[in-house]
Amino acid sequence: MIKKNIVCLVQARMESTRLPGKVLMKINGIPMIILQINTLKKSKLLNQIIVITSKNQTNDVLIKNLEKNGIRYFRGSEENVLERYFQAATKFNADIIVRITSDNPLVDITILDNILKIINENDLDYVSNNLKRTFPIGYDIEAFSYKTLKKIFESTENIDDLEHVTLYIHKNKEKFKIKNFEANSEDAHPEWRVTVDEKEDFQLIKEIFKHYHKKSIIRYRDLIELFEKKPSLIKINEHISQKNL
């Protein structure tokens, strides 16, 4: 089997409208995006991890943080995120792209590696765990081939597609070979929310990392056990609605 170059492109920006600067907000003294990347580095299948952000000067402080921590990055269009992904994937010679957003610090590398095995072994265009949601909001992982990304880039100029990168696949499933990775029925909790959009979201994430501060990796199974022990934690941000595309 030909070895493929698997590149994780972490989408980040400082100018979040609801919680500006959230990617550098500190958890246990470490910026949130650095915690996330430290977890991603433990994946056995990723060849490169690149943070992709825009050329907007508000992201200069993010770049300084990345450089300080020896993390590679790419800067591209602010509004055309699809173009940013395509240019970054091309520059770093990606065969398979993993798309992660920086507001999901609880990324689980077991889920990630399972998704990568599926796309590798079945020659698929796109594999994710959110075509049908079984994992909490905040565990979203997408993997797709460079060929697929190029096809999207050349097929659409729709403003929503340019902003949301893989939305075109979700709207045109019949054009791609796709698969959804789902949680076991007993572990399925699509109603939970562990992404960071609002201050209450960040408060919950801080509580989770505080509880597991001695663990080098917090896995999805750990979250389930914690919420079973302390169901009051779920209430911290349960009133927040996820923004629809």
Q: Which domains does the chain have, with CATH numbers?
A: 6-236 (3.90.550.10)
Q: State the sign of the Cα–Cα–Cα–Cα dihedral 212, 214, 218, 221.
A: negative
Q: Length of the chain in residues, anyone? A: 245
Q: Residue 2 has what pLDDT? A: 61
Q: Residue 241 has what pLDDT? A: 82
Q: At what angle do helices 32-40 and 109-121 cross, to 10 degrees?
A: 50
Tens digits of pLDDT across the chain (245 residues): 468 999 999 999 998 888 999 999 999 999 999 999 999 999 999 999 999 999 999 999 999 999 999 999 999 999 999 999 999 999 999 999 999 999 999 999 999 999 999 999 999 999 999 999 999 999 999 999 999 999 999 999 999 999 999 999 999 999 999 999 999 999 999 999 999 999 999 999 999 999 999 898 999 999 999 999 999 999 999 999 876 65
Cα within 13 Å of Cα(149), Cβ side: 26
Tokens for 112, please give them.
Answer: 């990630």
33/41 Cα distance (integer angstroms): 12
Phi, psi of 119, rounded to the nearest 5 degrees: -70, -30
- Alpha-helical segments (H) within 92-229: 109-121, 146-155, 159-164, 167-171, 199-211, 220-229
197/209 Cα distance (integer angstroms): 17
51/11 Cα distance (integer angstroms): 6
Write down the residue that tokens 């209430």 correspond to: 235
The alpha carbon of 147 is separated from its chain's Cα centroid by a whole number of angstroms, namely 20
Contact in structure between 225 and 47 (CB atoms under 8 Å): no
Q: Residue 18 has what pLDDT? A: 86
88/72 Cα distance (integer angstroms): 11
